[in-house]
Structure 1
Amino acid sequence: MSTNSLIEPLPTPTTGQPAILILNGPNLIQVGQREAEIYGSTPLVPYLEQLARETTEATVAIRYSHYEGALIEYLYMAQELSYQAVILNAGGYTHTSVALADAIRAIALPVIEVHISQPLARESYRHTSLIAPYCRGSIAGFGIVSYDLALQAALQLSR
C-alpha cells in the first residue's frame, strides 16, 4: 500500500457489508462554491457525507484529490482492501488522463464514472472520456443526484 503523504488511507472494511469508494478528482471539492450555473449551488462535501451516513446497505468512503497520482493510488488501495466498487468523478482528468484510464483497466473492481454536468452538452474537448471504455458504466447530467444514482448502481453490482 502507498505511503504517499497526499493519500489519506481508506478505512478497512470490517462490517461484513460491501464497501464502496466515492472518489473525486480536481476542483470537485469546490462544487457549491464555483460555477453554480454548471454544477449547482449545493455544496458537494456535506451532500456526499450525508449520502454516506444514510446508506445502510454498504460502508461508503469518500476521498477527494486534485492530484492524478493520488486518484490512481486510491483505485489500487480500494482493490487491495477488497472494496466492491468505486464511484469516480475524475473531473478534468476524464478527458486527459491515460494513466487514470490504465489504472481503471488494471483493477478488477467495477468503476462507475459519474459527472454532475453533462459533458456532451459542454465544450467539445469534454466530449471524449478516456476512462469510459474501462468503466462499468457512466452516469452524467443529473446534478449532484448523479452520485445517488451511481451509488444505487454500485450497490447492485456489490450483491
Structure 2
Amino acid sequence: MKKLIRPIPVVIIIVLMFSSITYGYVHISTGMPTTSFIVENRSSYSSIFNNSIAAWNNTDTSVELTKAKSDNYVITGQYDDTWYGVYKPSLKYIFWGPATKFVIQLNRSQLVGKSDNFWQSVLVHEFGHALSLGDNPPESPSIMRYDRDRESMITPQQDDIDGVNAYYNN
C-alpha cells in the first residue's frame, strides 16, 4: 500500500523555508499606492497630528504627507477595546490591493492620561501602516514594534525608513 504525503507538514516546511529569507521589516499590501497623500485631522489633537506628519515627512524617504481636507483622516473616539490605535484601509479591490483611502482611529479609552509622546508614537505607528509597513519586524528598533517604548520612540527609525524605501523602490 502506498503511503500518502500529508499536506500539512509540507505546507509548514514551505512556510518555514520562506520565513527564513524574509527581510528585517515586514510589509502589508494594504498601504497606500504612493508615499504622497493628503490626510485630514478630524481629532482635537492638532499638535500630535502635526508632529506625527512631520516625523514621517522629515525622514530620508519620499514620504510627503499633506494636511488638508481628505477622505484619509485621523479621528479619536471611545472604544471598548484594548488597542491604542487602528489603521482601517478601504482596499482597491474588495478584499485585497492597495488602499484607496483610510481612517486611523485613536482610542481615547486607552490613551487618556498618556503623554503627548505616547500619543505621537501611536499615530506615527499607524501612519506606518498607511506607508505599507507591517507590525513587529523581527529584532529591530522600529516604530512598528508593539513592544517599543512609546514614551521615547516617537519617530520612524532607520528600519522603518529602509522598509518604506524598499517597498516603494526609493
TM-score normalised by length of structure 1:
0.32
Larger Rg: 2
